[in-house]
Every structure is written in structure tokens, then in C-alpha cells.
Amino acid sequence: MARETYDTEPTGWTGWIAFAGFLLILGGFLHACSGLVGILNDDWVGFTNRDNAFLDVQAWGWVALVVGTIVCISGFGVLTGNILARTVGVIVAALSLIANFFYIPVYPIWALIVITIDILIIWALTAHGKEMKTLD
């Protein structure tokens, strides 16, 4: 089986691609863990200034478990240069960027830092994602 070759050598952006992959693995794992907590301990009480609410979070636990598992698997795929995994990574980074845009009034410095990281991850995965295959 012949090894595929590319016209260009890997650049420094492969570090950002690896960073994106590890963030996907970590974020997916944490979401899957929180989903598992929601499934196993599905009765929650939310306290506010005026009242308290009894919540059943088992359905959201399953959603978080499935989505977290998909994101974690895509993180491993990003590290191998898989195009589908890179697509999932770009979608997750874009959703994070949008969500943090709404957090600017509440946590401006943190939100702008995360938005900047999301933009760099999207750039690394879209413009330089295939470079991970040349590292095999």
C-alpha cells in the first residue's frame, strides 16, 4: 500500500490542530461525565431567590452523554486527520464561539479569550487540517 504524499510539509499549525483535538477529547469527556451524572442522579433541586424547583434531568443527561461521546471520538479523529472529525470540530468550535459571544456582557475577558481560541481552532482545522495526515 503506497503512502499518500502531499506537496507541502507540515507547518506549525499542526500544533493548533493537536490542541483542537485535545480540547475536543477533554470537552467531550467532561460532557459525557456530566451526562452520566444526570442519568444516575436525575432528581435535582434548583434554588433561586424566590422559590425552588424540582427538576428531572435524565433526558438532558442522555443528550449530554451521546453528544459528549461523539465530540470525544471526533477529537481522536482530529488527531489522525479525519475530515469528518475535523467537520465536527469546526461545528463545535463555531457553537462555542456563538455561545461565548452572548457571555461578553457577563464575563468579557474570558469570553473574548475563548472566542479567540475558537477562531484559531476553526482556522487550524479548515486551512491546515490535512497536514495531520502527513505526520504518520
- Using one digit for the tens of pLDDT, what is the confidence trace for 15-48? 888 888 898 899 889 889 988 988 888 777 666 7
pLDDT over 70, % of the chain: 87
- Using one digit for the tens of pLDDT, what is the confidence trace for 91-121? 998 998 998 899 898 889 988 998 998 898 8
> What CA–CA distances, in Å, run from 17 to 51, 91, 97, 123?
46, 14, 17, 9
Question: Which residue has 433541586 as its cell numbers?
Answer: 45
Per-chain mean pLDDT for the chain: 83
The answer to pTM > 0.85 is no
